[in-house]
Amino acid sequence: MTVDTNLAGLIHFGDVWYSRDGKNWTELKSNVIWKNRHEHSTLVFKDKIWVAGGYAETLNSEVWTLEIPEGWFEDE
């Protein structure tokens, strides 16, 4: 399960969190430098997290990808 703090409001976020059990959450740190945003689309496809569009100060059409670390979905 991933959560990217995509809030429908005026607060912009750029962090990505993941959980294996829905109770304990860890922030996924990366060197990706997308602008903080809200009302965007996020999906997982071909071992990457994709972030598209949204409001980042202004409406934009950027598309960013973040590689999912190897073994991320395996049980610990």
Q: Where are the domains of the chain?
A: 2-67
Q: Give residue-wise pLDDT tens across range 7-18.
A: 445 666 777 777
Question: Is a pLDDT exceeding 50 seen at residue 2?
Answer: no
DSSP 37: B
Given this model, what pLDDT does residue 70 score? Answer: 78
Given this model, what pLDDT does residue 1 score? Answer: 44
List helix spans (H) across the chain: none
Alpha-carbon gap, residue 72 to 76, rounded angstroms: 9
Say what percent of the chain tops pLDDT 70.
75
Q: Give residue-wise pLDDT tens across range 13-41.
A: 777 777 778 899 888 777 767 777 777 88
